[in-house]
Amino acid sequence: MYAIIDFQGHQYQVGQDQEVIVDRLEQKEGDKIEIDSVLLLVDGDKVLIGEPTIEGAKVVAKVVEHFKGKKIRVAKYRAKSRYRRVKGFRPQLTRLKIEKIVYRHG
Q: What is the pLDDT of residue 58?
A: 95
Task: Kindly calculate the radius of gyration of the chain based on its CA atoms and give it in whole angstroms.
Answer: 19
Q: What is the pLDDT of residue 104?
A: 87
Q: What is the pLDDT of residue 106?
A: 59
Each residue of 49-85: b (16+ CB within 10 Å) or e?
ebeeebeebbbebbbeeeeeeeeeeeeeeeeeeeeee
Q: Cβ of 11: how many Cβ atoms within 10 Å?
A: 11
% pLDDT > 90, the chain: 96
Give the residue from 27, 46, 34 showing the smallest Cα distance to 5: 34
In the chain, which stretches have pLDDT less than 70? 106
DSSP 46: E
Amino acid at 8: Q
